[in-house]
């Protein structure tokens, strides 16, 4: 059975979460299956092996679950993009809109290195690409910190929400699409 079919049979739909009218794609059953989880991590990392990625940025919070093992697989540092006031040191921030609320992401000012170093080549990781607001905010934040976004990789893409349009001109890789 293909990885896409295995994911389609494992990811569950949760209606009206976190707000009425949203059909949430719950990836926690994937986390409960170590073989499937390993295959997802491999599918996210493999396209970027040997492509000069220097950092992986994972988006809070489920992007951390996939970003850390992808960073390990690629042998590069991991940097978190977090919600406000979660990071203990100086940060840069980026506000953005989602399909059901507004939010802010922050990263440490030195998450991708220090000024004067060669620009980081970053792979942005998250669990779901919906409208693209979170991914685009993360890309803008990475660029503000002096990095170059090589690509955005997600486990699930909700194609009917057209998140790729928000990321026009950027490479996007999804393990499974709905």
In this predicted structure, the answer to whether residue 167 has a pLDDT above a threshold of 70 is yes
Q: What is the pLDDT of residue 99?
A: 64
**CA torsion through residues 86, 13, 38, 155, sign:** negative
pTM for the model stands at 0.95
Active-site amino acid positions: 62, 99
Q: Using one digit for the tens of pLDDT, what is the confidence trace for 112-157?
A: 997 777 789 999 999 999 999 999 999 999 999 999 999 999 999 9
Q: What is the mean pLDDT of residues 3-19?
A: 96
Interatomic CA distance for residues 134 and 60, integer angstroms: 10
Q: Indicate the CATH number of 3-177 among 1.10.10.10, 3.20.80.10, 3.30.70.2500, 3.40.50.2020.
A: 3.40.50.2020
Classify each residue of 136-151 as buried b or exposed e, where b means 16 or more C-beta atoms within 10 Å of its C-beta.
bbbbbbbeebbbebbb
């Amino acid at each position: 059975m293909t990885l896409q079919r295995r994911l389609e049979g494992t990811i569950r739909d949760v209606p009206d979460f976190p707000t009425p009218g949203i059909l949430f794609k719950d990836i926690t059953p994937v986390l409960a299956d170590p073989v499937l989880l390993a295959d997802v991590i491999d599918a996210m990392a493999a396209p970027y092996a040997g492509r000069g990625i220097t950092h992986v940025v994972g988006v809070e919070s489920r992007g951390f679950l996939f970003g850390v093992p992808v960073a390990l697989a690629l042998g590069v540092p991991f940097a978190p993009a977090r919600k406000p006031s979660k990071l203990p040191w100086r940060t840069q921030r980026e506000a953005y809109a989602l399909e059901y609320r507004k939010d802010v992401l922050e990263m440490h000012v030195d998450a991708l290195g220090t000024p004067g170093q060669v620009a980081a080549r970053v792979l942005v990781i998250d669990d779901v690409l919906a409208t693209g607001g979170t991914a685009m905010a993360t890309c803008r934040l990475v660029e503000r910190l002096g990095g170059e976004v090589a690509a955005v990789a997600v486990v699930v893409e909700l194609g009917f929400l057209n998140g790729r349009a928000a990321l026009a001109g950027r490479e996007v890789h999804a393990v499974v699409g709905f």
